[in-house]
Amino acid sequence: MNKKQKKMLVRIIATFLLLIGLSLIGITGYARLVLYMIPYLVIGYDILKKALKGILNRQVFDENFLMAVATVGAIALGDYQEGTAVMLFYQIGELFQSYAVGKSRKNISDLMDIRPDYANVERDGGLEQVDPDEVEVGTLIVVQPGEKIPIDGIVVEGSSALNTSALTGESLPRETAEGEEVISGCINMTGLLKIRTTREFGESTVSKILDLVENSSSKKSRSENFISRFARYYTPAVCYGALALAVLPPLISSLWMGLAPEWGVWVYRALTFLVISCPCALVISIPLSFFAGIGGAGKAGILVKGSNYLEALAQTGWVVFDKTGTMTQGVFEVKGIHHNTIDGEKLLEYAALAECASSHPISKSLQKAYGKPIDRNRVAEIEEIGGNGVTASVDGVAVAAGSGRLMERLGIEPAVCHHPGTVVHVALDGAYAGHILIADLLKPGSKEAIRQLNQAGVKNTVMLTGDRKEAAEQTAEELGIREVHSQLLPADKVSKVEELLERKGPREKLVFVGDGINDAPVLSRADIGIAMGALGSDAAIEAADIVLMDDDPRKIAAAVRIARKCMRIVYENIYFAIGIKGLCLVLGAVGIANMWTAIFADVGVMVLAVLNAIRALFVKKL
């Protein structure tokens, strides 16, 4: 509880004790009014001040105005105890709401407590703590056990285990050693690390993630926008309704019916109507539900860029996956060499050298299988053909290595491979020389992820890949994916997603899940783009609407569950608040509900709605 909340608690206790004391003393007349004004002003002076400020700023119709009018009116009618009690219980509700919001914010700030306070820089034989913003690219920093890694970089000395739980939601540490890239926000657990920075702090992973989390509240959902518009028109409407309730029935009864006007009765009913009508429960609980939902997702290592994406994710009907790096590990291994016209080792050497300039996982697997140092002086005229492969001159021999499309493009007939896996065809001096079979391993949670999505009622699961048809169909069958499209170039994936968008239902959302490195166009085109395995990937954080901070495919289903739970809570609060208030407004207008009923309809409903909203913070473990 912060200082402001503690002061409010003291005011509430003081007001409560004063009310009890005054109720035990039999005082009448003006003395009673003066004495009751003391607890009323103790508990309500800030509400009166805000209401007056709103009137002066021509922003009259808000909950402060409603409370001020209702309680001042009750006191004017001589209901001192009720007027003070209404203000007291309203402030109790405000305190509870403030505490609940603060608690949920603290949970999120604790979760995202990855901003480093300093960086250790070696100077004059010692360590100097400097602001991370002041550290330039290429600076050698030292991270001791227990400290956060402040800036992205490469380990130049030392090895350690890193705690990435604040980023991924997983407690399992990651091992790192010399030569490996590390990202900011991780906590160094065991050994001392010396790191050469590769980015400025403002461009580092931790800065991008913090910026994403801090700006998530700026992208409002349709539900939040509806509530904002609703409150804008609703509050003035109930104020005019209360005025009509106070004036019209007495006038009608006296002028047309010849009865006593009973102004006091109708004014009291109008004041009760005002207290009941306060829209706090909706205005507070709906944004809080989304805020808690985003916080709960963040706790699980799922970063949502705005409540609009959380709302859309709850309507997921189709989930489209990239294959390599998303459902598979992206770790390729050479499994065999077939239809070769020269020695297999020599064929592999030509392919590895031709692919030496590429960072693609398949290229790396060829170089790894070759197992010898790459002499780039032997390679010239390298040309990478997107989605097809490469051509190069190796020791004066024209080498082409890539897909069947590359062979057809060069007018070479590729041999058919009957084994499952990715095939790299190789041609030497324009003649087909054989192909290398490469296999990609499935991620451990991929099959379970598809099962969970099917269980969650997702209508269709689709896989898009540049892989050949046989390998793609085998992977899809093994995973349980219902539809697969193979041999696609990056541009083809965008076209295919557009086709799928046409096929889906009007109320269904299409989610595309990619590894965030080369899937930016597709991530942007889908209704919702999810980048997974994005720890440290700028492309993922920028292109996707939702970012999964590790490689676990099961978090896709977890994200859908969190979104649906959040939306369920939002609608529960909307129906509950509007239903109870509507009923109490009718009862108040006909004189059945009094001020105490009004207090429940306002404060009670708000407290229950806020409690319900906080449930969105809690997410079940995978």
Domains along the chain with CATH numbers: 1-111 (no CATH), 119-150+152-198 (2.70.150.10), 303-328+442-557 (3.40.50.1000), 329-441 (3.40.1110.10)
In one-letter notation, the amino acid at residue 535 is L
What is the widest separation between alpha-carbon atoms in the chain? Answer: 114
Q: Contacts by 125-133 with C-beta closer than 8 Å and gap 24+?
A: 132/201, 133/200, 133/201, 133/202
Outline where 419-468 has alpha helix (H). 446-455
| Cα separation, 35 vs 41, whole angstroms | 11
For the question of residue 322 being annotated catalytic, the response is: yes
| Cα separation, 89 vs 75, whole angstroms | 16
- CB contact at 8 A, 339 and 413: no
Q: Which two tokens stand for residue 148?
A: 């956060």
Outline where 371-445 has alpha helix (H). 404-409
Q: Which two tokens stand for residue 486?
A: 């193979």
- CB contact at 8 A, 440 and 332: yes
- Provide CB contacts within 8 A for 472, sequence distance 6+: 323, 463, 465, 484, 485, 486, 487
- Catalytic one of 322, 440, 515, 552: 322
pLDDT of the residue at 63: 74
pLDDT of the residue at 166: 67
Quickly tell me which residue has 């590429």 as its tokens.
358
**What values do phi and psi take at 354, rounded to 5?**
-65, -35
pLDDT of the residue at 485: 92
Query: Which is nearest to 144 in space by CA: 175, 206, 198, 190?
Result: 190
- Provide CB contacts within 8 A for 278, sequence distance 6+: 63, 66, 67, 90, 602
187 DSSP β-pair partners: 148, 163
Q: Which residue stretches of the chain have pLDDT < 50? A: none
pLDDT of the residue at 213: 62
pLDDT of the residue at 68: 82
In one-letter notation, the amino acid at residue 131 is D
| Cα separation, 214 vs 220, whole angstroms | 13
Q: Which two tokens stand for residue 275?
A: 């207290």
- CB contact at 8 A, 195 and 180: no
pLDDT of the residue at 109: 55
| Cα separation, 129 vs 537, whole angstroms | 28
Strands (DSSP E) found in 358-475: 379-385, 389-394, 397-402, 422-428, 431-442, 460-464
Length of the chain, please? 622
**What values do phi and psi take at 582, rounded to 5?**
-60, -45
